[in-house]
Homo-oligomer: A and B are copies of this chain.
Amino acid sequence: MNAEVVAVGTELLLGQIVDTNSAWIGEQLALGGIDCLRHVRVGDNLNRIVSVLRESLERADAVVVCGGLGPTQDDLTRDAIAVVMGAELRRDPEAEATLRAMFAARGREMPANNLRQADVPVGASRIAQQPGTAPGLVAPVGDKVIYAVPGVPYEMREMVAGTVIPDLRRRAGEMSVIVSRTLRTWGQSESGLAEQIAERIDHLDGTGNPTLAFLASGVEGIKVRITARAADEEAGAALLEAEEALLREILGEIVFGTDDTTMEAAVQQLLREAGLRLAIAESVSGGMAAARFCAVPDASDVFCGGVVAYDPAVKFSLLEVPEGPVVSEAAAKAMADGVRRLFGAEVGLATTGVAGPDALEGVEPGVVHIGIALDDSVEAVTVRLPGDRERIRGYATISAFDALRHRLLARRRA
């Protein structure tokens, strides 16, 4: 079973919008075990959409077409599918009623155009929509099939995950379910990770289930994705559990979380467990650490606040850093201790370094000192980070969080 993805919209061709939908659909197809050999983007033009759909159907068993289901005259995906099916569009009474009810619920008059969204090619069926106003379509063409989903990402995702992938897998005669879990790691290169778990990779290459994949994610670290095939969800979950346990035993503390857990959420969880509150003093990261920390909705019970000590004078006066070079381990330690005192927090975290483009105090861009004040100890670590100003600032932030994470883990063990 294989499929192609078609994204419809002139704004995609003009580069006004980046096509993230196709990437997401491609990932879902791969996770579902369905080969995808081509993605195509085409503008809002009936004949061209029809050509693209026909060509894709010649090569593949199925086409997922995304976008062009809105209410305007530019939205031509329904019409194109009708042409490819050789069928007429017919207004679906149920879809029409849903549309009218949605507008009525919001107390708004429905523009007549919107009724186009209730048009369904004869022989196709609707994918019911939850939040938006455009229903999707499942349109059989001979023994092949076209799925049409909206271009609005959250509507698209719901229909692809909830209807398209399961339907494709049913057509493929696939009765199993596919489940996956991602281990989030920080502090090891992709080749280093592969070396550490080489035995597991070899073993799984033999069994073929579950499988492992590495996803490099820049400043967010490297993700190790476990994908398992099983008779049902429960059996799948058991396979994931077992593999996660094995990998965690090998990888140890470089795993900071699973799936959508961010580094800052992992640190906050450790602080919460230990009943500690954090204050942050930032120079090189310039507020990024505080901003990421505050992005977690329930940060307030473990986060007092922070100081962005951009001007060296602020380090000396507000944070009581002794006069001297401010890009140094000594300064990082004094900043961590100073901000902890200033905010009355139990933990102080500090960054100082050089983001570039120019050197500072004779120190090259990329050198970053991280200070941690906790209990009776004030420590510093130094890292050398790659990239331009923006990347150095990002890496400095995540490196500081990771250093604190390791310190909190060591404290818990002690």
What's the tally of chain A residues with a CB closer than 8 Å to chain B? 69
* Interface of A (DSSP majority class): mixed
List A356-376 residues whose CB lies under 8 Å from chain B. 356-358
In the complex, chain B residues whose CB is within 8 Å of the CB of A357: 297
Please tell me if A13 contacts chain B, counting CB pairs below 8 Å.
yes
A54 CB to closest chain B CB (Å) equals 13
Chain B residues with CB under 8 Å of A393's CB are 291, 294-295
A353 to chain B: closest CB distance in Å?
A: 12
* Segment of A39-47, A75-83, A175-183, A226-234 in the binding face: A39-47
Are A308 and B286 CB-contacts (below 8 A) given A389-B297, A393-B294?
no
A311 to B290, CA, bound (A): 12
Measured between beta carbons, the chain B residues less than 8 angstroms from A36 are 13-14
Give A59's nearest chain B residue, CB to CB: B51
Q: Complex: how many Å from CA A38 to CA B280? A: 49
A336 to chain B, nearest CB (A): 15
- Residue A215 lies at the interface, judged by CB distance under 8 Å to chain B: yes
CB neighbours of A293 from chain B (8 A): 286-287
Which positions 258-306 of chain A face chain B at CB distance < 8 Å? 280, 282, 285-295, 297, 299-300, 303-306
**Is A27 on the interface with B (CB-CB < 8 A)?**
yes
Q: Complex Cα distance A295/B392, Å?
A: 11
Which of B19, B37, B290 sits near A308, CB closer than 8 Å? B290
Interface residue A24 (Cβ < 8 Å from any Cβ of B): yes
Instruction: Give the shortest distance, in Å, between A15 (CB) and chain B (any CB).
Output: 3
Q: Quick check: A40 and B38 within 8 Å, CB to CB?
A: yes
**Does A309 sit at the interface, judged by CB under 8 A?**
yes
A294 pairs with B308, CB closer than 8 A: yes
Contact B305 A308 (CB under 8 A): yes
For residue A48, CB closer than 8 A to chain B, the reply is: yes
CA distance A13 to B7 in the complex (A): 13
- Distance (whole angstroms) from the CB of A76 to the closest CB of chain B: 15
Residues of chain B within 8 A of A19, CB atoms compared: 18-19, 22-23, 39
Q: How far is the CB of A383 from chain B (nearest CB, A)?
A: 19
A151 touches B (CB below 8 Å): no
A294-337 contacts to B (CB < 8 Å): 294-295, 297, 299-300, 303-311, 313-314, 317-318
In the assembled complex, the CB of A24 is this many whole angstroms from the nearest CB of chain B, namely 6
Asked whether any CB of chain B lies closer than 8 Å to the CB of A122, the reply is no
Most buried by B among A15, A52, A280, A292: A15
Interface hub of A39, A215, A300, A355 (most chain B Cβ within 10 A): A39
Does A26 sit at the interface, judged by CB under 8 A? yes
8 Å CB interface, A41-81 against B? 41-43, 45, 48, 52, 55
Cβ of A306: which chain B residues have Cβ within 8 Å of it? 287, 307-308, 310
CB A282 to nearest CB in B, in angstroms, measures: 8
Q: Which residues of B contact A390 (CB under 8 A)?
A: 295
Confirm or deny: A138 has a beta carbon within 8 angstroms of a beta carbon on chain B: no
Known: A297-B357, A297-B358, A307-B307. 5 other contacts (CB 8 A): A12-B39, A14-B27, A295-B389, A297-B389, A304-B314
